[in-house]
Structure 1
Amino acid sequence: MTDHGLPVLVLAQADMQRSLLDYVLRGGPIGMIIVLISFVALGMIVAQLLRIRRDRLAPPQLAEDLARLLSSGDPEAAIARCNAEPKPSFLSRVLGTALARSTRSPFGMLELRTAVEDAGRAEIDRLYRLTDGVGLVASVAPMLGLLGTVIGMVGAFDAIMLAEGPARPDQLAGSISQALITTVLGLIVAIPCTAAYTYLRNRIDHLTSEIGETVDAMIAPLEANASETNA
């Protein structure tokens, strides 16, 4: 590209940035609110993508240590290992809670599977709650867009009533533009948020199911020993 072409490219990019900003500003206060919650949703999506990973939900070293301790029949040491995690994970919360409940129960390790299932459901619900914010934005954004549409149309009818004679197009353009822009902004935010919400929920289901299979294998020796003891 020649040096003569660079100023043209810079000016074109500046015009595009101004036009995008003008487009958002024409949406009025409702349009700004929609843009604001879109950034909030983006932050929540990124945070959840970083949080909902196999190595974060079930750190490999923790899983290895727990498998070794439980295979040797030492639930107390496994509980201590879970509590020693500097950043509690899905695996440490589920097994730590379930093992602590089983050691206090009169049924002992015979209650372990029920305790694991209860703790697992509680932790899955917690992950769902952290994702619900994205779903909330996906639901609210189009309703805000509809609100902006109604406000814009009310403004257009007000302009018609206040006009002396037939209303000119330029008297209606601002309100109608706001009405349409807020609808578009609401959909632009809602569609990807809906897709992200569905993806995150499915990812939670998939990873927690995989970790559940790992936990089943870990607690199998304790269940077998408990069954033999009570036989």
Structure 2
Amino acid sequence: MSDPANVVSFPFLQGPIAQLIDMGGPVMVVLLVLAALGLVTFFYLMLSGTLYAPRLNRHLKQTLRHWQANPGAVDPEHLRSQARFRDRMNPLLHLVADTIDACKKRVDGQQIRETAARDAQHALEPFEAPLKIIEVIAALAPLLGLLGTVMGMMEAFSAMAATEGRANAAQLSGGIYEALTTTAAGLVVAIPFAALAAWIEFRLRRIHKTINSTLVSILSVADTPRSNEDELSPSGEAGAARPREQAENNGFTGRQRFAHATG
């Protein structure tokens, strides 16, 4: 379908890659570029996820237990200062610290929820663009393979028309074989990237669920009514919160209010 002399003129296109391009033509070049772009995007996403993905580690779980047991004993600045280098790159740590700090300063509850929802969305934004790239590659690859097949069939029938229908079976089968190569290549590219896109989306949903449940745990304590003796003392320390069931009896739990704020 393409001139082998033009292919082998590039040293980096020797061997199997040159054969694939020779069989599939320009569409095969596009498919190879998409495959390379998808692999680079996937490795970038894995590296970013390892370093910057929100995660609920042991230190944050312990902080949440302390917050639910005795909110006044939790210091957001201490939480940040005691974090290790890798933990400081964890967006969930800063989200938890900022939300607890706002709750202790008695910031308006609606404003806390809106800020928490916005920060949670920002924490997931770096992973949305790579996921979209992988999804687009998975969708385009089979279409490009079909395009290559149509172009190959057109070329085969054009050759048959040039010979006024006297083309033999070997000539037709060779052209059809080359045309179907692009369809096979498109499916080979699309299937693994479609599976990767589904797996990445599942992981992002789990991360979103973790962020949501963590913020609900913080806001449920902040929304729980306190008695007079549990109010903030002049030193800024708070007493133990009443049971969460009392907040539910009043008709507004932290989960309901946060879910309403985040949509």
For 1:154 and 1:223, the matched residues in 2 are separated by 69
Q: Secondary structure at the match of 2:119?
A: helix
Q: Per the alignment, do residues 183 and 75 of structure 1 end up closer, same or farther by CA in structure 2, a change over 3 Å counting?
A: same
- Asked whether the equivalents of residues 54 and 207 of structure 1 are also in contact (C-alpha less than 8 Å), the reply is no
- Asked whether the equivalents of residues 75 and 99 of structure 1 are also in contact (C-alpha less than 8 Å), the reply is yes
Identify the range of structure 1 (119-128 vs 160-169) with the bigger mean alpha-carbon deviation: 119-128
Q: Per the alignment, do residues 76 and 229 of structure 1 end up closer, same or farther by CA in structure 2, a change over 3 Å counting?
A: farther
TM-score (norm 2): 0.61
**Deviation string, structure 1 residues 26-56 (Cα, Å, up to 9, x no partner):** 1111112112211211222233234335984
For 1:74 and 1:122, the matched residues in 2 are separated by 24
Matched, 1:179 2:176: no
For 1:226 and 1:43, the matched residues in 2 are separated by 53
**Deviation string, structure 1 residues 182-214 (Cα, Å, up to 9, x no partner):** 111111111111111011100111133124323
Matched, 1:63 2:64: no
- Asked whether the equivalents of residues 63 and 74 of structure 2 are also in contact (C-alpha less than 8 Å), the reply is no
Alignment-mate amino acid for residue 52 of structure 1: G
- Asked whether the equivalents of residues 135 and 194 of structure 1 are also in contact (C-alpha less than 8 Å), the reply is yes
TM-score (norm 1): 0.68
- Asked whether the equivalents of residues 145 and 187 of structure 1 are also in contact (C-alpha less than 8 Å), the reply is yes
**Deviation string, structure 1 residues 60-82 (Cα, Å, up to 9, x no partner):** 48737965997435456668889
Q: Per the alignment, do residues 25 and 226 of structure 1 end up closer, same or farther by CA in structure 2, a change over 3 Å counting?
A: farther
Give 1:132 deviation, angstroms.
0.9
Alignment-mate amino acid for residue 152 of structure 2: G
**What is residue 111 of structure 1 aligned with on the other side?**
111
Q: How does 1:1-231 map to 2 (within 5 A)?
A: 22-52=19-49, 56-58=53-55, 60=57, 63=60, 71=71, 72=73, 74-75=75-76, 88-92=89-93, 94-95=95-96, 102=102, 107-109=107-109, 111-163=111-163, 166-224=166-224
Alignment-mate amino acid for residue 35 of structure 2: S
- Asked whether the equivalents of residues 80 and 94 of structure 2 are also in contact (C-alpha less than 8 Å), the reply is no
Alignment-mate amino acid for residue 30 of structure 1: V
**Deviation string, structure 1 residues 12-31 (Cα, Å, up to 9, x no partner):** xxxxx956752453111111
For 1:111 and 1:226, the matched residues in 2 are separated by 20
- Asked whether the equivalents of residues 134 and 193 of structure 2 are also in contact (C-alpha less than 8 Å), the reply is yes
Identify the range of structure 1 (147-156 vs 52-61) with the bigger mean alpha-carbon deviation: 52-61
The percent of aligned pairs where both chains have the same amino acid is 23
Task: State how many pairs are aligned.
Answer: 211
Alignment-mate amino acid for residue 91 of structure 2: F
**Deviation string, structure 1 residues 142-194 (Cα, Å, up to 9, x no partner):** 11111111111111121012125511334434532332011111111111111
RMSD value, Cα: 4.0
Q: Per the alignment, do residues 152 and 206 of structure 1 end up closer, same or farther by CA in structure 2, a change over 3 Å counting?
A: same
Identify the range of structure 1 (38-47 vs 66-75) with the bigger mean alpha-carbon deviation: 66-75
For 1:191 and 1:206, the matched residues in 2 are separated by 23
For 2:88 and 2:79, the matched residues in 1 are separated by 16
Alignment-mate amino acid for residue 51 of structure 1: S
